[in-house]
Structure 1
Amino acid sequence: DEQAFSAMKDDIETFEQSTKSDDATSGAVVQLNRLYYFAIPPSAFADTATAINKTSMQDPSKGWTRLIVEKPFGRDLSSFEELNKTLSTQFTEDHLYRIDHYLGKELVQNLTVLRFANIWLERIWNKDNIQSVILTFKEPFGTDGRGGYFDQYGIIRDILQNHLLQVLTLVAMETPSQLIGPMAGKAIRDAKVGVLNAINPIELGDVLLGQYEGYADDPTITNKDTNTPTFAVIHLKINTPRWHGVPFILKAGKALNERKAEMRIQFKDAPAGQFLFQSKSCPRNELVMRMQPNEAMYLKTNVKKPGFDATPVQSELEINYDTRFFKDGEDKATANPDAYTRLILDVLQGKQGAFVRDDELRRAWEIFTPVLHKIENDNVQPIKYKTGGRGPEEADTFIAERAGYVRNLDYTY
């Protein structure tokens, strides 16, 4: 509605003029900026973008104009290209901030510091030492009345193609030329695109799908024979010298046994461990970064069992954010702001490193679109699983076979 935006522009200019008048008396130089937040359906993007471009852009000599754009960024490659064309004909990439709130999470933002500020970690961050990388998202509830919306997208589009894939790029990227500074946004996103370009499109054999029992009972789901997955495990390979042969697993599901999002890097067996400790168990080390809830990092490490025996037992070297960084009585929301607060501040400061560029999205859809179309066109049926559990029993077998992941059943965190 260009008329409505034109009226809004008049209100904005009236406010800007009053602000300018107030500051003129103090001699301050005022920059009059405009920020728009697209928390709207993709179907409204075109009209809204056109109306803003025609009526409400700020004069560059007075300040900037920026737009925050929420997902979904399409549902496959062609729909993304259509949306992107709509925005790119009206705005440049400097205007656009495509927001993925996972990129604003504390543990995700910590990845660049953890990896590139610690010499010991970067030395082992490769195929010679790492057995597998597993990125997990779990929710203890189902669609809860949102089934009509969710059924159009499914768990792969909702979580794996965006949130978990974005985290994967930060785990796997090569060192950007700059992490802080005016060129950091370009450098970080260039490095992320390099990871995506090294991933082949997903094939159906690399995917395990599940759907919790009773999913289609949601009254907002009209297709009671829906094959939309509420659980998925995907096996990816990154074809670079650093990661050649290392399995990357993306796993997400609804109606499971807990709420959790984490990065889990399992390292290879200790050399000659079985011989040195006379066939006693020598569990694999793991670095676990819990994104939610209660942010924490811990390194599962083998130590001597207390007492006379020299049997290795697994414990952890741990940083718990609640106890390590926040004082008693301190407002955690102030000391550790939520993802959206961080990201909106980045927009105001013109920092684009934690936002998704168009070439990132294009390559992400090139990776996922073929298998999404295969699932839909061939009506591939997901495995049914009970609510409140770990998901389909077949998922653990799939991960063990594809990732070579070995679970230490004796360990309790």
Structure 2
Amino acid sequence: MKQTDNHILVIFGASGDLTERKLIPAIYNLYCRSFLPEKFAVLGVSRTKFTDEEYRKKVILENKHLKDNGSADKQAAFSEKIHYHAMETSDPNAYGSLKDRLTQLDISGNYIFYLSTPPSLYEVVSRSLSNVGLSNEEDGWKRIIIEKPFGYDLKTALELNKQLLSYFAEPQIYRIDHYLGKETVQNLLITRFANSIFEPLWNRNFIHHVEITAAETVGVEKRGGYYDGSGAMRDMIQNHLLQLAALVAMEPPVQATESAIRNERMKLFQSLRPLSPEDIEKNVIRGQYTSATIHGETVPGYREEEGVSPESRTETYVAMKFFIDNWRWSGVPFYIRTGKRMPTRVTEIVIHFNPTPHHLFVKNTGVMNQDNMLIIRIQPDEGMLLKFAMKIPGEGLRVTDVDMDFHYKDLADTYIPEAYERLLLDCIQGDATLYARGDAVEAAWQFIDPILKAWETNPNIKMYGYPAGTWGPENADDLVEGKHKNITWRYPCKNLSNDGIYCEL
């Protein structure tokens, strides 16, 4: 195991939901698994007035999100590592007292600053830390973690990177995307580059198209005001799903190192074919969920949600088709979709292989040789599923699809860390492989920005409605093209096994 240095993790926005729900539980799990050094501390920073004891009670002793994987003595010992410092984060004059508090803790000069704050505070926090010398690495390493969104559009993303680089060097900046911390996402690299049965087929000669789905059953819940200024394109596609696409499609790195892997992801973003105005109208579908009855319960439409404008044009669903202009993927369409209020919560990648060139056998469904599929399930029921044809026992050469599946849960005595747990440990150890680099963020925005601008300026681009609890606007099916009929999006089940048998409609 790689050695971890003594350090202090400083969490700005420490009284917020993310800290209590994800960050403190992740650090506690690392502590219980002996991944943290002997000398470490967590310093929560927020304007809410807490003593150390009150804060420990809130985030440790009474935190319902803390898994019961340690004894009461272990929790008590861990809570002694937790400290709190009340200050106004937006006040540059308050950072001198923060530096004094860090000195008093006397752990080391190694600091991680986690900005669990609104993006509007990223500049003032990074500038204020720099002004009091807390970005200087003369007495130890300094790292800063920021949460998405990394900008609201291309212009603001460029400005954010410029601001951050004024106070911290690029190797010090960790842009966190929790999707990349999921074990099944990381396994993409192993699936592709460690298996000779897959890598020779991973190109335009054998793959018909690639499909990525991220569906949620929930609506905007209590985040209507925030979401109405964001939408599915900014919230999910610009970051999470384009990052998944990059891992699926990138070239093999020269080495399994941070810089080599991130370089290949960057080259993939540079290979995305820009969408023309005609492409945007034809190949990008946006929608909003409307009121419907789900399992006997009436749920509101998006425009009826709290904090949402009754005339909102913000999308809760996006489906799009795009191409990657390089040797490996020339002519292979990639399809991405995401939406709220869908039939099931699922994120998966589907590799559709080309059908056999000659239709010898009729399947039991009456359909000639359909595609083989490799489904990589990110969540839930994490695992992989391979669909291929087999003969039905008995008379004649009748064929049916069968499934060969693997589930992570079947790995006995194997601990699967949460995404934040893995990503925080990587930052502590100075490994930015699974974090987004500034130039890659800008390249992703260069691809997405024309779509957002077209939606803002072209009133002729339609916004489709879809009933809550369905798979989105039926127009999205028109995006998918095949060499034979009956090809459409895959409509996944919550369960990976028995796929297509027990499933949400």
Give TM-score scaled by structure 2 length: 0.73
- 8 Å contact from structure 1 (residues 2, 55) kept in 2: no
Letter in 2 for 1:291: I
Decide whether the 8 Å contact of 2:382 with 2:407 is kept in 1. yes
Q: Structure 2 vs 1, CA of residues 257 and 139 (structure 1 numbering), >3 Å: closer, same or farther?
A: same
Query: Are 1:252 and 2:338 matched, yes or no?
Result: yes
What per-residue deviation string (whole Å, max 9, x for no partner) do you get for residues 73-130 of structure 1? 1111101111111101111111100001111111110011111111121100000000
**1:286 and 2:373 are equivalent in the alignment:** yes
Residues 142-167 of structure 1: per-residue CA shift (max 9 Å, x gap)? 11121111111110111011100001
Where does residue 326 of structure 2 map in the other structure? 240
Tell me the SS of whatever aligns to 1:50.
helix
Pick one of 129, 135, 157 that aligns with 2:234.
Answer: 157
Aligned AA for 2:417? Answer: P
SS in 2 for 1:318: strand
Deviations 1:157-202 (CA, angstroms, capped at 9, x unpaired): 11011100001001000011111xxxx1111111011111111223
Label 1:403 to 1:111 Cα distance change in 2 as closer, same or farther (>3 A).
Answer: farther
Note if 1:322 corresponds to 2:402.
Answer: no
2:307 paired residue number:
220
Out of 387, 395, 412, the position equivalent to 1:300 is: 387
Check if 1:166 corresponds to 2:243: yes
Displacement of 1:283 in angstroms is 2.2
One-letter amino acid matched to 1:167 = L
Partner of 2:185: 108
Structure 2 residue aligned with 1:338: 418
Shift of 1:40: 1.4
Q: Aligned partners of 2:486, 2:162: CA distance in 1, in Å?
A: 42
Q: Secondary structure of 1:166's match?
A: helix
Identity over aligned pairs, percent = 35
**Matched residues in 2 for 1:287 and 1:104: separation?**
21
Give the AA of the match of 2:327: P
Q: Residue by residue, what CA displacement relative to the aligned partner does 1:279-321 show, whole Å, maximum 9, x if unpaired?
A: 8632210000110112010111111113334312111111111
- Residue type at the aligned position of 2:357: P
1:209 corresponds to which residue? 286
Structure 2 gap ranges (5+): 1-90, 291-300, 492-497
Partner residue in 2 for 1:42: 119
Q: Distance in 2 between matches of 1:38 and 1:347?
A: 14
Structure 2 residue aligned with 1:24: none
Gaps of 5+ in 1: 20-30
Is 1:4 equivalent to 2:113 in the alignment?
A: no
| Whole-angstrom CA distance in 2 between matches of 1:374 and 1:405 | 32
1:122 aligns with 2:199: yes
Q: Secondary structure at the match of 2:325?
A: coil
1:395 Cα deviation after fit: 1.3
CA distance, structure 2, for counterparts of residue 235 and residue 93 of structure 1: 32
Cα 1:269/1:401, change in 2 over 3 Å: closer
TM value normalised by structure 1: 0.89
Amino acid at match of 2:360: F
Count residues in correspondence: 387
Match in the other structure for 1:187: 260
**Structure 2 vs 1, CA of residues 347 and 403 (structure 1 numbering), >3 Å: closer, same or farther?**
farther
- Root-mean-square deviation (CA, aligned residues, Å) is 2.2
1:360 aligns with 2:440: yes
Cα distance in structure 1, aligned partners of 2:458 and 2:483: 24
Report the Cα offset of residue 405 of structure 1. Answer: 7.7
Hey, what does 2:103 align to over in structure 1? 13
Higher-RCO chain (CA-CA 8 Å, sequence separation at least 6):
1
Counterpart CA distance in 2 for 1:381 and 1:401 is 25
Runs of 4+ with deviation above 6 angstroms:
401-405, 408-411
* Cα 1:58–1:156 shift into 2, 3 Å: closer
> Residue 368 and residue 58 in structure 1: after superposition, are their counterparts in 2 closer, same or farther (change >3 A)?
closer
Q: CA separation in 2, counterparts of 1:186 and 1:308?
A: 57
Contact 1:303 1:313 in 2 (8 A): yes
Partner residue, 2:464: 383
